[in-house]
Structure 1
Amino acid sequence: MSEENQNLDEELKIVVKKNVFYVSKKFICSVVPYFEKMFCCDLLESKENKVVLDFDEEVFNIILTWVHSGLLIVQMENVIKCYNLADYLMIDETLIRPCNSYFHEKFTIEHLPVVLPQVTKVSKLINSEAIDYFICRHFLKIINTNVFLDYPVETVEYILKLNLMIYSEYQVFESIMKWVSKEYSRKELLPQLLNCVRWSFLDHVDVTKIKGRLDGLIKGLSNLDSIISSDCEYGLNRSKQTFFVSIQKLNDAKLRLNVFDNELSCFPVGDFTQDNTMTLDFFHGENISDILFDSEKKAIRIDWSKKTFRWLDSKVNTINYSKLHHTIIQFFNLSRFSCYLEATGSNPSSPISMEENLLLESVDQYIVIGKIKDDKRWYGQFPVIHHSWFTHYDNQRTLHVTVLDKVVYILTRGLEFIQFDYEAKCFNKSEPFKDQKWDFNDLILTSHQSKDDKVILINKSSGKMYVYLINQKKWIEKYRINIVNFGSSNSNVNSNELIAFTSTFLQMKNIKPLYRRIFT
């Protein structure tokens, strides 16, 4: 409609909180379905030519500007609200698509202070469940950035109250101390944030460590004992969310999943069906888990509610790692070093040409372990931050690797067992399985990332599970995994194939075991 015709047209008065907008009634009905439907019905507004809306005034102005000029100007401070309003007004993909693209291309953890106030349980672009799950899963990485140290207290408190995926409440305490120590004026906020620690789940050793701190922040707290001993109902023990998961292949389109606690007690979950329509979005609900296995070279997405799965190929993994780097890793403020594992005082000359490398998650960071192409020596970077490591996929398979706390455990194709402590920079190599005639590709090496005292090695062919007792420095054969048909008289008949046994974070409230066990 021309500007002249709009001026001659009947005006519609739109009241949005304290703002009043006057627009051409005929024009707005022709371009915004919400108004068209309103005035084609026998509603009070259609007779009065007045509409009252309860939306952000500036966001509504952005929509009106776009409607009248074709110019859409959004920023992270309002893009979610713009998307929600466009959806409410029933505006088609011409507006929704650019909002969606902008958010997913630009969002980083820098934007959490302006994104969190915009999201709700039902917001469309991204909802509170998805953003909360992202924070919970990557909390230990987020607190290793300068960005976290610059958050306002409201954002920090919001984060610390979530069901964070952590290994100890002491990690929450440490994050508080780092944030408070950034500025002297934050000292008065310390008691408020300490109430976010779920003290009843801290062990005695960590509590003693906190009370014994020599810094003035803790020693100056007169009510520390009352904070620690406060009788609060904390709910979930956030430090008990790591589990082992086994994946069995029943056929090309069906898998069977079991969950194991730290003592390897099994919780059968059931059979899962392949669904290649499952979302591949980086941000997703808490009912979905991405499980990495085979030294984190392979991945699968599980929907625990629908009992479906989707394989994540190398292209998807590369995209997700690249997104992780963009949103969090690029802001790391950790000190870094690289070295030959056998000779920590020496480094290969740059540029480095790797024959094989593995990108591995290690509690609060990512590291790279690999072999130099020229001299075939083991090499590592601790942590790795450069984006190139997060966009490269290597399908070589000459080593199995797992990381527990600050120690990297490697099993080579020649069955050499290597331990490298990258904090103490200590290297050890042994041959506990030199007489075994194992197929390297039949082996699984895994462990939790922290707070455990064992490394697990499984031979898929025999089902034998070997456990390396870290404190005793020895291997034992402790379990055997037999996969048999129920009711079969032959305990050696395999009904399906074990393809993965790995550790991961899980929110058990979303997982329904096939039966329940209650201790009385």
Structure 2
Amino acid sequence: MSSLETDDKLTIVNRSMEHKISKELIYKIPYFYNMLDSDLLISKSAKLQLDFDEKALESVLKCVEFGIKSIDMENAINVCNLLDYFGIDNLLNDCLNYFHANFSIELLPIIIAQATITSKWINSSALNAFICRHFMKLVETTAWLCYPFETIEYICALDLMIYTERQVYNAIKDWVNDNSYFRKWYTKKLLQLVRWCHLKDEELSEIKKDLKFFTDLDPIFLDNKIDCDHIYNRTKQDYFIMIEELKGTDLRINILDDNLLPLISQVIKLDESISVDFFQDEHVSDIFFDSGRKRIRIDWCQSRYCFLDSLHNKTYHDKIYKYFITKYVFHATFLNNNIYMLTHDLEFICCRIFDECNKKTRLENNLNYENLLLTSKQSYDDRVILIDKFTKDGLCYNVKTNEWSSINLMTNKSSTGDQKESNKLLTLTAAFISMNAIRKHMNCKHN
């Protein structure tokens, strides 16, 4: 006779806690069924030793025994991981839905504490990639000023997608200033996370003057000679992305350097099965275009893509807009504190944000407005680019000199030898792409 028949209760000892639960109930859980069925339990003691997060296991057992769903954001990831590990699929969906409905930027500290590299659903790699992509938006929220020191330290140490290390310095300064009496003690430790050797000389000089606002801080450590070759330059992750339409649904994606010269060219294929979840590893990138109204998700490792602007992906957009407030204008681009717009009658307009338009230029009449796209980087650049989608010819406006110059986009054929002819330029836009993602993409192609 089996232990299930001779003893009604199973004792589960998990770290410092002990649970007694009906064997009939526990037998319905695939993980425990396999253990009981293979006689791994000692029938006389009917005791099982486990080593899981205590709060998560207690929540799972209460749900199994009493039907009580005890989930909160402080244990949501741990509970989801445990449900997945135990094979309780019917409850796993409820847990995931709860997380999606309740996640907010304010909760990042407790999410960081739960996510690990081996988490089945949201691992630390995907969470870090999310933080790196959205760092510049994150530091503009009130949540940034409320994070504990440990969270600020964790975030500033990541390979953030930034234009300059000064953005990290400013984020630290804002956090310290919000409660300087208590936070000034963390200043020096946080400033050591700024990768000073990647700052331009003029920026470094300005920061040294600015450091005077930090009481009792000697900026001498900024003068230490550091070998930049051994420190990841996170300011070199912004590129121009050119996407060309091919026959059928294939696209050619070209990653261009700062001079609009091609670095990587690859054909990617449509795959609507790509996950639209907002937590993605760094080998997946979202590219925004058409003044931010459209976006395409690219899986670099699998050379595939999907559009994220269709009706069935509306939930994805709702989530992003819920976390970050963004503003997009038709046929317009943002650069530093200015908005650059092109009207239907080809009038090029420059306006300072929240101010009246102060610069207007009439462009050539031989340009077809419907074929044009206007693009630029968002910060730390002096160019606004106007491109014809069919000819790939264009004009570059220098915001410092107020002068236009001609440009022509050069592209490479795919490194695979694919010679598919490109038709129309879908977009030319600026985007952050992790260097690690590009390396993974190249490694995947060779494996």
Same fold (TM over 0.5): yes
Of 201, 205, 209, the match for 2:202 = 205
Where does structure 2 lack aligned partners over 5 or more consecutive residues? none
* Equivalent-residue separation in structure 2 for 1:449 and 1:328 (angstroms): 16
Alignment deviations for residues 290-316 of structure 1 (CA, whole Å, 9 cap, x no partner): 111122222211111100011222536
**Is 1:418–1:429's contact at 8 Å kept on the other side of the alignment?**
yes
Distance 1:88 1:228, change over 3 A: farther
* Equivalent-residue separation in structure 2 for 1:478 and 1:141 (angstroms): 32
The answer on 1:61 being equivalent to 2:48 is no
**Matched letter for residue 100 of structure 2:** H
The answer on 1:121 being equivalent to 2:52 is no
**Matched letter for residue 26 of structure 1:** E
**Matched letter for residue 500 of structure 1:** T
**Matched letter for residue 75 of structure 2:** N
Which position in structure 2 is the counterpart of 1:421? 352
The secondary structure found in structure 1 opposite 2:273 is coil
* Equivalent-residue separation in structure 2 for 1:47 and 1:425 (angstroms): 83
* Equivalent-residue separation in structure 1 for 2:241 and 2:288 (angstroms): 10
The answer on 1:474 being equivalent to 2:434 is no
Which position in structure 2 is the counterpart of 1:99? 95
Of 217, 221, 224, the match for 1:221 = 217
Which position in structure 1 is the counterpart of 2:367? 438
Alignment deviations for residues 425-471 of structure 1 (CA, whole Å, 9 cap, x no partner): 552111132xx322212112111111111111111233312111222
Structure (1/2) with the larger helix percentage: 2
Report how far residue 22 of structure 1 moved.
2.0
Report how far residue 48 of structure 1 moved.
4.4
Distance 1:91 1:494, change over 3 A: closer
Alignment deviations for residues 195-215 of structure 1 (CA, whole Å, 9 cap, x no partner): 110111111111111111275
* Equivalent-residue separation in structure 1 for 2:314 and 2:40 (angstroms): 53
* Equivalent-residue separation in structure 1 for 2:84 and 2:290 (angstroms): 42
Which position in structure 1 is the counterpart of 2:428? 501
The answer on 1:35 being equivalent to 2:32 is yes
Which position in structure 2 is the counterpart of 1:391? none
**Is 1:172–1:197's contact at 8 Å kept on the other side of the alignment?**
yes
Aligned CA-pair RMSD: 2.7
Distance 1:45 1:502, change over 3 A: farther
The answer on 1:256 being equivalent to 2:252 is yes
**Matched letter for residue 267 of structure 1:** L
**Is 2:243–2:251's contact at 8 Å kept on the other side of the alignment?**
yes
Which position in structure 1 is the counterpart of 2:22? 24
Which position in structure 2 is the counterpart of 1:276? 272
Of 75, 79, 85, the match for 2:76 = 79
**Is 1:87–1:96's contact at 8 Å kept on the other side of the alignment?**
yes
**Is 2:255–2:263's contact at 8 Å kept on the other side of the alignment?**
yes
Distance 1:9 1:269, change over 3 A: same
The answer on 1:238 being equivalent to 2:234 is yes
Moved more, 261-270 or 41-50: 41-50
The secondary structure found in structure 2 opposite 1:282 is coil
Alignment deviations for residues 245-284 of structure 1 (CA, whole Å, 9 cap, x no partner): 1111112221111100111120233111110111111221
Of 46, 49, 56, the match for 2:46 = 49
Of 377, 400, 405, the match for 1:448 = 377
Q: Which runs of 4+ in 1 moved over 4 A?
A: 44-48, 423-426, 480-486, 512-516
* Equivalent-residue separation in structure 2 for 1:244 and 1:511 (angstroms): 14
**Matched letter for residue 220 of structure 1:** D
Report how far residue 102 of structure 1 moved.
0.6
Which position in structure 2 is the counterpart of 1:464? 393
TM-score when normalising by structure 1? 0.78
Counterpart mapping for 1:348-497 below 5 A = 366-369=326-329, 400-422=331-353, 427-433=358-364, 436-481=365-410, 495-497=422-424
* Equivalent-residue separation in structure 2 for 1:22 and 1:473 (angstroms): 76
**Matched letter for residue 165 of structure 1:** M
Where does structure 1 lack aligned partners over 5 or more consecutive residues? 1-5, 330-365, 370-398, 487-492
- How many residues get paired? 434
**Is 2:269–2:303's contact at 8 Å kept on the other side of the alignment?**
yes
**Is 2:242–2:253's contact at 8 Å kept on the other side of the alignment?**
yes
Which position in structure 1 is the counterpart of 2:160? 164
**Matched letter for residue 17 of structure 1:** R
* Equivalent-residue separation in structure 1 for 2:87 and 2:164 (angstroms): 46
Distance 1:271 1:214, change over 3 A: closer
Distance 1:163 1:323, change over 3 A: same
The secondary structure found in structure 1 opposite 2:349 is strand
Of 169, 193, 196, the match for 1:196 = 193
